[in-house]
Amino acid sequence: DSGVTQTPKHLITATGQRVTLRCSPRSGDLSVYWYQQSLDQGLQFLIQYYNGEERAKGNILERFSAQQFPDLHSELNLSSLELGDSALYFCASSVGVEANYGYTFGSGTRLTVV
């Protein structure tokens, strides 16, 4: 157990729907990162939050949004889902805002859009 908790582990939904993925960071970590892993794109950085504030954006679509709450858990919202959104979504956490601490990853949420 890495200490980063992601729920649900699996999600199957239809095109056009909206889903919410949840992440609880490792105790003491203030940064949360979201990554998308797909066969054709590899691991793509989506967004980073640090202590409740958005810090960096990567290749995140406008249909996707995220937030980090006062208790530091984070949610990734995916709307108007398309078949191409099917992927593994990872959450990672770290102590600080910089990458030198390294990230601790959760086990991921596998999203299947049908």
Partner 1 sequence: AQSVTQLDSQVPVFEEAPVELRCNYSSSVSVYLFWYVQYPNQGLQLLLKYLSGSTLVKGINGFEAEFNKSQTSFHLRKPSVHISDTAEYFCAASTGRRALTFGSGTRLQVQP
Residues that bind partner 1 (CB under 8 A): 2, 4, 33, 35, 42-43, 45, 48, 56, 58, 90, 92, 97-100, 102-108
Minimum distance from CB of 107 to partner 1 (Å)? 5
Minimum distance from CB of 55 to partner 1 (Å)? 8
- Cβ 72 vs Cβ 30: under 8 Å: yes
Minimum distance from CB of 16 to partner 1 (Å)? 28
In which element (H, E) is residue 12 found?
strand 10-13
Tell me whether residue 12 or residue 99 sits nearer to partner 1 (CB atom).
99
- Cβ 47 vs Cβ 89: under 8 Å: no
Tell me whether residue 12 or residue 43 sits nearer to partner 1 (CB atom).
43
Q: Alpha-carbon distance 114 to 24, whole Å?
A: 27
Q: Alpha-carbon distance 70 to 54, whole Å?
A: 13
